[in-house]
């Protein structure tokens, strides 16, 4: 099989056998195509059979060279993901009996920089929610997006995949498909529900034109009536953050962190926040909540007579 075909087979395995999210699949495909382009470049020209890079050209030394190139262009977190994609790809090939071993197995993942996702203080979060123009359907859509992020703390891929059937207005719940195709039920606030309802009412003609009355149609639409993409959602958040002159690099992930931090500041239990965020490990949740813990330590040090 050609390398193109092998990458395609691996992507299908991720989607149908391993249940990876479309966001992860998209990134892995990009990472593997980038590695493939590197191999072609190393050959200088495609081989005489015009089939491109071959598996027998790939060894540990080549991986080391590729890793050096990545370090000159990307942050360590991105490099770690790209290496993970390649490592998983060769594990797949090894299990299929197409390679004798995994030449990427002994490549160490770069040590990660300590990264604390930015979050918005309550007043800035409220200021962000005031930015969309409620007199226009696009403004109502954008407001609903921001409200759902802040109300539910879901991932950008989960918001992208939200369907009409995933909203229960009576029970005030939403159903999302998380990592590994795991379904999660999350409470949603009244303000977010109102924003979603106002948006749905405003785009009835567009929705009927593109999706009819199907409850499995996407909740958030682009201007053509298709499902709003991850990139489109990022653009929405960054647009209003820029307009509002908000601090930090505000992204959908920052709104997820804002959700978790404000819950903990309000007295929520850490394990409850873990469930809401859909984390398997409590330590992952703690990464999102460092600000709250720092604040608790500050209060403790100031208030307790034996803290020093």
CATH code, 252: 1.10.443.10
- Per-residue model confidence (pLDDT) at position 115: 62
- Per-residue model confidence (pLDDT) at position 299: 60
Our answer to whether residue 172 is catalytic in this structure is: no
| 189 and 69 in a common domain | no
- Per-residue model confidence (pLDDT) at position 50: 44
CA distance 66 to 223: 40
| 238 and 164 in a common domain | yes
Our answer to whether residue 211 is catalytic in this structure is: no
| 129 and 83 in a common domain | no
According to DSSP, residue 225 is labeled S
| 280 and 194 in a common domain | yes
| 134 and 51 in a common domain | no
Q: Kindly list the averaged pLDDT for each block of 10 residues, start to end, along the chain of length 308.
A: 86 87 88 90 56 67 86 86 91 87 77 72 93 96 97 94 94 89 90 96 92 87 94 95 79 92 86 87 70 60 65
| 157 and 258 in a common domain | yes
Task: Judge whether 221 lies within some domain.
Answer: yes
Our answer to whether residue 96 is catalytic in this structure is: no
Q: What is the CATH number of the domain that holds 61?
A: 1.10.150
- Name the catalytic one among 82, 207, 253, 257: 253
Task: Judge whether 238 lies within some domain.
Answer: yes
Question: To 10 degrees, what angle do helices 122-129 and 137-152 make?
Answer: 150
| 144 and 78 in a common domain | no
Our answer to whether residue 239 is catalytic in this structure is: no
| 293 and 201 in a common domain | yes
| 130 and 59 in a common domain | no
- Look at residues 60, 95, 130 and tell me which one is the last residue of a structural domain: 95
- Per-residue model confidence (pLDDT) at position 280: 80
Owning domain of residue 142 = 122-300
> For residue 184, what is the enclosing H or E element?
strand 183-187
Task: Judge whether 307 lies within some domain.
Answer: no
| 49 and 197 in a common domain | no
- Per-residue model confidence (pLDDT) at position 117: 67
| 52 and 189 in a common domain | no
Number of domains in the chain: 2
- Name the catalytic one among 15, 23, 26, 179: 179
Q: Please give the C-alpha separations between residue 2 and each of 49, 55, 85, 98, 135, in angstroms, as whole numbers.
A: 11, 9, 18, 11, 53
| 156 and 254 in a common domain | yes
């Amino acid at each position: 099989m050609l390398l193109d075909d092998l990458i395609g087979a691996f992507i299908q395995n991720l989607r149908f056998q391993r249940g990876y999210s479309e966001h992860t699949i998209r990134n892995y495909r990009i990472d593997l195509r980038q590695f493939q382009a590197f191999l072609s470049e190393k050959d200088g020209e495609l081989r005489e059979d015009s089939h491109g890079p071959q598996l027998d050209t790939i060894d540990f030394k080549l991986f080391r060279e590729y890793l050096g190139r990545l370090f000159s262009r990307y942050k360590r977190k991105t490099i770690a993901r790209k290496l993970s994609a390649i490592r998983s790809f060769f594990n797949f090939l090894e299990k299929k009996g197409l390679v004798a071993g995994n030449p990427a197995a002994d490549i160490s993942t770069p040590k990660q920089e300590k990264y604390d996702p930015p979050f918005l203080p309550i007043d800035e979060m409220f200021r962000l929610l005031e930015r969309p123009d409620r007199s226009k359907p696009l403004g109502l859509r954008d407001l609903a997006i921001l409200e759902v992020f802040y109300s539910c703390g879901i991932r950008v891929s989960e918001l992208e995949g939200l369907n009409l059937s995933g909203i229960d207005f009576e029970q005030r719940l939403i159903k999302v498909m998380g990592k590994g195709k795991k379904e999660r039920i999350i409470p949603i606030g009244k303000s977010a529900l109102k924003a979603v309802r106002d948006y749905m009412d405003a785009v009835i003609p567009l929705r009927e034109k593109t999706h009819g009355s199907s409850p499995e149609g996407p909740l958030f639409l682009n201007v053509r009536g298709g499902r709003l993409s991850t990139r489109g959602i990022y653009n929405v958040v960054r647009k209003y953050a820029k307009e509002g002159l908000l601090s930090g690099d505000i992204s959908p992930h920052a709104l997820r962190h804002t959700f978790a931090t404000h819950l903990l500041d309000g007295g929520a239990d850490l394990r409850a926040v873990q469930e809401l965020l859909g984390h398997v490990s409590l330590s992952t949740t703690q990464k999102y909540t460092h600000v709250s813990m720092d604040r608790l330590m500050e209060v403790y040090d100031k208030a307790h007579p034996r803290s020093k």
